[in-house]
Structure 1
Amino acid sequence: METLLSGLVGIFFAGALYLMMSKHIVRVLLGVVILGNAVNLLLFTTGRLTREVPPIIAAGADTLSAGAANPLPQALILTAIVISFSFFCFLLVLTYRAYQDLGTDDTDEMRVAEPKGEPLPPMGY
């Protein structure tokens, strides 16, 4: 199962990098989301995937048994999901405002576009 998920992580990373190299800002945002999911899946895969032994410390024991899944990556993933969702919402609002002001979502055109209603800067130094 870990081999299958490792391949899926690689596909997610490749797709995220492909989307993040795009000129359109919406594709870049989707790439960031997929990259976050790839990292979460990578953390989940490194924590062992077993259904036989739950990550619960038995009565009278001080540590987990050797075959149990590691609960730390699962806790990290829960935190990362909340942080990545709030980061995505912030980037989405920022992109929407940039689109409203500049009238484009192409990053090359955003560099030379002036916000609507603002005068051009003086040409002299």
Structure 2
Amino acid sequence: MSEILGPSLMQLVAQAPVLLVYLVGIVLAEVLRARAPLASTLALVGSGLLLVISMLQPFVFQYVLRSRLDAGSSSDEITRVLGFFGVIAGFAHAAGLGLLVAAVFAQRCPASQRPDSLRV
């Protein structure tokens, strides 16, 4: 277990600044929910997804690597399995980022309805 836990925790420490940004995004989305419910919900789900994936990915990778090594898998097989999980994690990250981008544009009023001070 320490073969998985140690390296995974080291990866999480290295990702700490990004994980902190995801946490701040979650808190801000919840605090500002009354102002823009749809945008807040999108930001909350997107930040939450990014946080969960970023925290789980090191453990999953370490577990898969250790279990494949213990099973005597070849390096090619290990590369394929880790690549498969990498693709899944990539799609999950893209989904989270897509939700954040959608949150930026959700519930925006048209430029013609904005106060003069906000027009570009």
TM-score using structure 2 length: 0.46
Structure showing greater radius of gyration is: 1
Higher percent of residues as helix: 2
User: Which protein, 1 or 2, shows the higher relative CO under an 8 Å CA cutoff with sep ≥ 6?
Assistant: 2
TM-score using structure 1 length: 0.44
